[in-house]
Amino acid sequence: MRITSPAEVLPARARRGGLTLAGALIFCVLILSAQAPARGRRGSLLRSWLLSAAAPLVGATTSVSRAASGAVDSVADLFAARSENARFREELARKDRELFRLRAEVAQAARQGRLLAGGGGLPRVLVAAPVLLLESRAGLYSALVGAGSADGVMPGSPLAVAEGLVGRVVTVGRTVSRAQLLLDASAAAGARVTRTGELGVIKGNGRGELRLNNISTASRVQAGDLVESAGIDGIYPPGIPIGRVKAVARGSNLFLEIRVAPAAVFSQLTDVLVLAPSPAAGTAGDAGSATP
């Protein structure tokens, strides 16, 4: 066991006494400052010291709080701006779609108006209708037309444009119909050479051309002659242009081989005029009616 000498005890006691004295002095100063009024201010001198000492900390805390609040507000504003921007883009896209639809409807109405005006000489026009689809494969030529029974269309209704005959409706739905075009390999119509008055049968060859059959080799038909519907088939009304004779050749039998260039441009069909069918065509075509 170590024995502490008097020389070591005295300095330790002196230090403790000094600390006690210093603490007592500080306590007295604090009490006096708490009671002494601050110069030119309300409250005590101690309060003034405490406020002065805390001012930088309070200022720093306020700055940090304001910065954090500003950052939160900026983030919130950014998200709000993005949401508003997305809403504006969606609204603009909707307006663009609506404008496109209106322009398409105006263009469609203008085309059909021109078609109706140009087809003023055609008999018993029911409606002008858009061509929704043109089909050409393996000798078959057909079209989907945007008109149906709701528009008075019936099986056998002829189709035409201002330039001439196009074909006939074969099946009818409420708003859409399918038509057989004259270019189809199985299509046929009664025809007449306008200049000579000779009657024949116009048929499609399935390759985009028409042939005029049953014209005698004694005929005076020649290239450039107009061929029109004769009205003898019970389907097409008479007097509608079909095309013009393109070439005439002597066949191997009693009839000429006559190629006819169509009056209508089938590859560019966008709208057609649907004509009222003859009673015979309506009766014969009832079995082909369908509702898509």
Instruction: State how far the Cα of 170 lies from the Cα of 226, in Å rounded to an integer.
Output: 27
Instruction: State how far the Cα of 125 lies from the Cα of 255, in Å rounded to an integer.
Output: 35
What is each CA distance from 129 to 109, 160, 269, 271, in whole angstroms?
Answer: 10, 11, 11, 6
Nearest CA-CA partner of 269 in 83, 128, 174, 156? 128
Is the pTM higher than 0.85?
Answer: no
pLDDT at 289: 40
272 within 8 A of 159, measured Cβ to Cβ = yes
Beta bridge partners of 49: none
**Span 182-227, pLDDT tens digits:** 999 999 999 999 999 999 999 998 888 899 999 999 899 999 999 9
Q: What are phi and psi of 112, to 5 degrees?
A: -65, -35
**Span 122-170, pLDDT tens digits:** 778 889 999 999 998 888 999 999 999 999 999 999 999 989 999 999 9
pLDDT at 75: 74
pLDDT at 135: 92
Nearest CA-CA partner of 181 in 172, 173, 170? 170
Q: Which CATH architecture has domain 125-288?
A: Beta Barrel (2.40)
Residues near 121 by beta carbon (within 8 Å), at least 6 away in sequence: none
pLDDT at 260: 96
Is the pLDDT at 258 greater than 70? The verdict is: yes
pLDDT at 93: 77
Run of H or E including 46? helix 45-118
Instruction: State how far the Cα of 269 lies from the Cα of 131, in Å rounded to an integer.
Output: 7
Is the pLDDT at 105 greater than 70? The verdict is: no
Strand 226-229 versus strand 188-193 pairing type = antiparallel
Question: Torsion over CA of 252, 254, 259 and 263, rounded to 10 degrees?
Answer: -170
Is the pLDDT at 233 greater than 50? The verdict is: yes
Domain boundaries, the chain: 43-118, 125-288
